[in-house]
Every structure is written in C-alpha cells, then in structure tokens.
Amino acid sequence: MIQGYLQHWACFQCQKTFKGELSKRPLERLCPQCRTPMTNMGTDFKAPAQKNVKQWQKVRLLFQAGVKFFPQEGTQLPGERPDTLADVPAFLKKVYPPSAGERLLEPANSRNVVAPREGRLVQHDQFPTQTYSLLGKTVQSGEALEWFQDGQWLPIGFICRGNGYKPIPHPYALPRRADAVFDSGSPTFLSSQDRLRWPQQ
C-alpha cells in the first residue's frame, strides 16, 4: 500500500490531472470539472500538456493496456515508457509478448502489428464542433462499431450527426446487421464510460 505519496488522477475527457491521496474507493473519484470518473495513473505520472492530444492518447492506450506509473521495486523509477503515440504498439508488444497460441491465430501479414480494438470513446472539442475517436482513430457518423452490452459485443452504427448531417449534442448507438444500420424507436446514448471496439477487419 502506497501512503503519503500523492496520486495523479487523470481525466481523459478534460486531458487534465488532479493530485490527491489514494482514496478508499479510487474508482469513484470524479473529475472536478466534468464529473467523469477519473483514473488513478500512479505517483510517477507526468501529465502531458493539456492540448497535446497525441500524448494523451498515448497515455490512455498505456492505461487501457494496464501500464501504470508507480515506482518499480528496486530502482524506484517509473520504468521505461514509450515517447510517442506511434511507439506504443511496439512497446506493448515488448511488455506483453503474444503467447505461442496467439501468434498462431494471427494472420500472417499482421505478425508485427499490435492492433488493440477495444477502447473508450474520446470526444474532442465541444458541441457543435466536436469529433469523436476510438483508440486514436476518428469515428464518423454511421460508422460500424461494436458495443459491449449485457455481457456481449453488439454490432452498432455510431451516430453523431442528425438530419442534414448536422452535429447533435450526444452520440448514440443504433442496431446494425451486416452493413445496414436500423433506425430504432429509442436511440441509446453513448458516453466515455461505454466499452466500444472496432469490428474485426
């Protein structure tokens, strides 16, 4: 148990960190600015500049892969971390080498590429000029995604534009089969809390 060290809590929405003691219920700390649950990034976390979207995406990818920023036993240093967003796949491959079984399942042409599919929706900018991304790749309105709901991955169409392709305040999910997106009576709104992933290519 780490005590006396200030933890760095990150809000991936605001791209900001807030310092605080380790709380008893660390998952429930909310961002003072946007009220999104924040993430404890550890004691050694150095926050990127607030406007540096790529560095924040890098940090988010590392967090989603389970990499945190606590001092390592022995050296008391945070350990090696990739410098740029582009370095993340190679870094994760080094930290988590694929098992022999996973290597057998990979298509031959993707042997050297780690392509995480699952992540959380990130909003860039504010309504009405906002855009959305998943794992650093822009999600267009109507794009095919998968959404984790009730223990399974459901094919959805991601909708963030309304009639006349006008921006709408909140993105939502519509059911999808094959390439067709179905207009259902009640849209299900999506937030940064939902688990989303890109469909298998």
SS3 category, 167: strand
Please return the burial class of 9, using the count of CB atoms within 10 Å of its CB with bins 0-12, 13-18 and 19+: buried
Q: How far is the CB of 37 from Zn ion (least distance, A)?
A: 9
Q: How far are the Cα atoms of 48, 52, 65, 112 from residue 92, in angstroms, in the given order?
A: 19, 21, 8, 12
Out of 7, 8, 9, 13, name the contact with Zn ion by CB under 5 A. Answer: 13
- Residue 10 interacts with Zn ion (CB under 5 A)? no
14: contact with Zn ion by CB under 5 A: yes
Q: Is 85 in the site for Zn ion (CB under 5 A)?
A: no
**Burial class (CB within 10 angstroms; exposed 0-12, middle 13-18, buried 19+) of 107:** exposed
Residue 156 Cβ, how far from Zn ion at the closest point, in Å? 25
CB of 88 to Zn ion, least distance (A): 23
**CB 12, min distance to Zn ion, A:** 8
Query: Least distance from C-beta 192 to Zn ion, angstroms?
Result: 10
Nearer to Zn ion, 33 or 138 (CB): 33
Our finding on whether 34 is near Zn ion (CB under 5 A) is yes
**Considering only 12-20, 150-158, 170-178, 184-192, which stretch makes contact with Zn ion by CB under 5 A?**
12-20
**DSSP state letters, 88-154:** HHHHHHHHSPPPHHHHHHS-GGGTT-----EE-EEEES-TTS-EEEETTEEPPTTEEEEEEETTEEE
User: Nearest distance from residue 149's CB to Zn ion, in Å?
Assistant: 25
Indicate whether 31 belongs to the interface with Zn ion (CB under 5 A): yes
User: What distances in angstroms separate CA 85 from CA 64, 81, 110, one per listed residue?
Assistant: 13, 11, 19
Of the candidates 174, 171, 176, 173, which has an alpha carbon nearest to the alpha carbon of residue 160? 171
Say whether residue 2 binds Zn ion (CB under 5 A): no
Which of 10, 11, 59, 67 lies at the binding interface for Zn ion (CB under 5 A)? 11
Query: Applying CB under 5 A, what is the total number of residues that bind Zn ion?
Result: 6
Residue 33, interface with Zn ion (CB under 5 A)?
Answer: yes
Give contact residues for Zn ion (rule: CB under 5 A).
11, 13-14, 31, 33-34
